[in-house]
Homo-oligomer: A and B are copies of this chain.
């Protein structure tokens, strides 16, 4: 019997890869990489917070499988997700003479995953990379889909690439040390999958919220598995984000505006998505596509999960300006993902400025 509870395959033709999910499976990382990769050298990119917790075990496992490990430790935080920090990865790779056949491994949360993936996409025009996400947010969201990138002073993730990993390994045991606030922020993305795609999962989170907030490994594994299945299914339908994939941005256009207005260092991404999802509910209810009952259930679950449900207080104009800079804009029209109730969402490009402003006002109350 293997401690790997589930192996999901993300089906993307010759860019397909496996996601391994379990508890206490980090020591198997080296052997799982060796099965898939012939390279000698691995650059392990992590940050000052995660490295003291998980780097030694990661390194031991990789070295036992015969890899030479170069740790590349970056400062922690979204504010470092920029070109300057990316340059540190490139400098280390060049200094240690990394070649096209070598590998980058991301050990950390979403910021580390996005930057490592982008560095892997660009170094010598592309090297392979492996993800070992250590936050719930990164496990549930950032590690599936191949989106990589850095922020620009004027907007999040404006510079990046699509670059699929070779392998993703998720050990829910790494979540034991995750700060409570970050854990709940990750849960916001799990709830998002319930709202946009799976009414039954949403109901299970409602029913078992206590065990989930207590980080019961069996529940975490089940939720991760289902969330990744949903995301993998949507990404396989639309790898380059021309259609269905837009649904994954439920709560994100509002959420990005919150992050942009508050400067990226006050709200966690998942918190912004939670408040953004509530704003999307207000708007959906207002234009008559979501029942008040479902809207109320969504708001209650987000609130009971200890997540924010109100938008921070900024002038409506500032919200509108921030939303227009978002990537999900086509021909100057803001396209919004809105819930049509629990388990089903839709992309709408026809929302009037008046309805949007009214929903923003309600969201701030």
A interface with B by C-beta (< 8 Å) = 40, 83, 87, 90, 94, 97, 99-101, 121-126, 147-149, 152, 154-155, 157-162, 240-241, 324-325, 327, 329-332
Asked if residues A125 and B99 are in contact (CB atoms below 8 Å), the reply is no
Besides A83-B87, A126-B240, 14 more A-B contacts (Cβ < 8 Å) are A40-B331, A83-B83, A90-B158, A90-B159, A94-B152, A94-B155, A97-B324, A99-B331, A121-B161, A122-B160, A123-B159, A124-B158, A124-B327, A125-B161
A126 touches B161 (CB 8 A): yes
Residues from chain B with a CB closer than 8 A to the CB of A122 are 122, 149, 159-161
Name the residue of chain B whose CB is nearest to the CB of A94: B154
- Least distance between A141 CB and chain B CB atoms (Å): 16
Residues in B with CB closer than 8 Å to A126 are 161-162, 240
| Residue ID in chain B nearest A102 by CB atoms | B331
Query: Contact: A99 with B329, CB < 8 Å?
Result: yes
Q: Which one of B158, B162, B240 contacts A94 once the chains associate, using CB atoms below 8 Å?
A: B158
Contact indicator B124/A325 (Cβ below 8 Å): no
19 pairs of residues in contact across A and B, judged by CB atoms under 8 Å: A83-B87, A94-B154, A94-B325, A97-B324, A97-B325, A97-B332, A99-B330, A99-B331, A100-B327, A122-B149, A122-B159, A122-B161, A123-B158, A124-B327, A125-B157, A125-B161, A126-B161, A126-B162, A126-B240
Q: Could you tell me the distance in whole angstroms from the C-beta of A108 to the nearest C-beta in chain B?
A: 21
Min C-beta distance of A93 to chain B, whole Å: 9
CA distance A155 to B98 in the complex (A): 13
Please, how many angstroms separate the alpha-carbon atoms of A154 and B157 in the complex? 27
Contacts of A87 in B (CB 8 A): 83
* A125 contact from B100, B123, B160, B331, Cβ within 8 A: B160
Query: Within the complex, which residue of B125, B147, B325 is in contact with A147, where a contact is CB–CB below 8 Å?
Result: B125
Checking B94, B123, B160, B331 against A101 with a beta-carbon cut-off of 8 angstroms, the contacting residue is B331
Which B residue sits closest to A240, measured CB to CB?
A: B126
Bound Cα distance from A100 to B242, whole angstroms:
10
B residues less than 8 Å from A161 (CB atoms) = 121-122, 125-126, 161
Q: In the complex, what distance in Å separates the CA atom of A338 from the CA atom of B322?
A: 55
Report whether A125 and B97 are in contact in the complex, using a CB–CB cutoff of 8 Å. Answer: no
Closest to A160 in B: B125
Contacts of A331 in B (CB 8 A): 40, 99, 101
CB-based closest 10 A-B pairs:
A125-B160, A122-B159, A94-B154, A124-B327, A99-B329, A125-B162, A125-B161, A122-B161, A124-B158, A83-B83
